[in-house]
């Protein structure tokens, strides 16, 4: 899973020219879900979104407070294009999770953000829609975050024949 986290003074999402969601100061998070992602990836992303210290404290010292400390809002936007793999100059999105599964997965991320913070402070775009995202980046501060992908079972590799001569050479060099 990949998330692009931007500290913003304000952000909004429009569909067909109509603003459907907006926030004031806080975070705008673009989220790309991979077909290999699992619950641990979502937990990691949620934890990082809520705990990254991207804001100044009351004394103006930077990088001291997180979005919860400041009681700010979070605007999330599902963005499968973050899972792009280039084939020459053409983007390929085969690494992105399919839309039906990713819609449920994305909704769970929103729910988990709300459970671990304040559901009224979590906003989002319209899943699967063609959207215009307006972001007034503060700083600018932009953090790219990649989850540790859920490990896939490794296929067994055929054992290579060991050359005894090579083993003797290694022993002699010690």
In the residue annotation, 93 being an active-site residue is answered as no
Catalytic member of 6, 55, 72, 80: 80
In the residue annotation, 81 being an active-site residue is answered as yes
Rounded distance between C-alpha atoms, residue 109 and residue 146, angstroms: 15
Angle at 60 between CA 54 and CA 65, to 5 degrees: 30
Cβ(54)–Cβ(63) below 8 Å: yes
Rounded distance between C-alpha atoms, residue 166 and residue 42, angstroms: 46
Tokens 């896939």 label which residue? 152
In the residue annotation, 80 being an active-site residue is answered as yes
Catalytic member of 72, 79, 83, 105: 79
Residue 45 CB partners (closer than 8 Å, separation 6+): 1, 3, 31, 109, 145, 147
Catalytic member of 81, 108, 132, 150: 81
Known catalytic residues are 79-81
């Amino acid at each position: 899973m990949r998330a692009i986290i931007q500290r913003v003074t304000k952000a909004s999402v429009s569909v067909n020219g109509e603003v459907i969601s907006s926030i004031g100061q806080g975070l705008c998070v673009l989220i790309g879900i991979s077909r290999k992602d699992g619950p641990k990836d979502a937990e990691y992303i949620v934890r990082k979104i809520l705990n990254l210290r991207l804001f100044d404290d009351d004394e103006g010292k930077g990088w001291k407070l997180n979005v919860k400390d400041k009681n700010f809002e979070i605007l999330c936007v599902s963005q499968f294009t973050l899972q792009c793999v280039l084939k020459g100059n053409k983007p390929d999105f085969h690494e992105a999770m399919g839309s039906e599964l990713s819609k449920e997965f994305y909704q769970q991320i929103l729910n988990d953000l709300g459970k671990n913070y304040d559901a009224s402070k979590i906003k989002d775009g319209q899943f699967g829609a063609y959207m215009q995202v307006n972001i007034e980046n503060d700083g600018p501060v932009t953090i790219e975050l990649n989850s540790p992908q859920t490990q896939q079972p490794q296929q067994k590799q055929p054992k290579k024949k060991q050359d005894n001569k090579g083993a003797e050479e290694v022993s002699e060099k010690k």
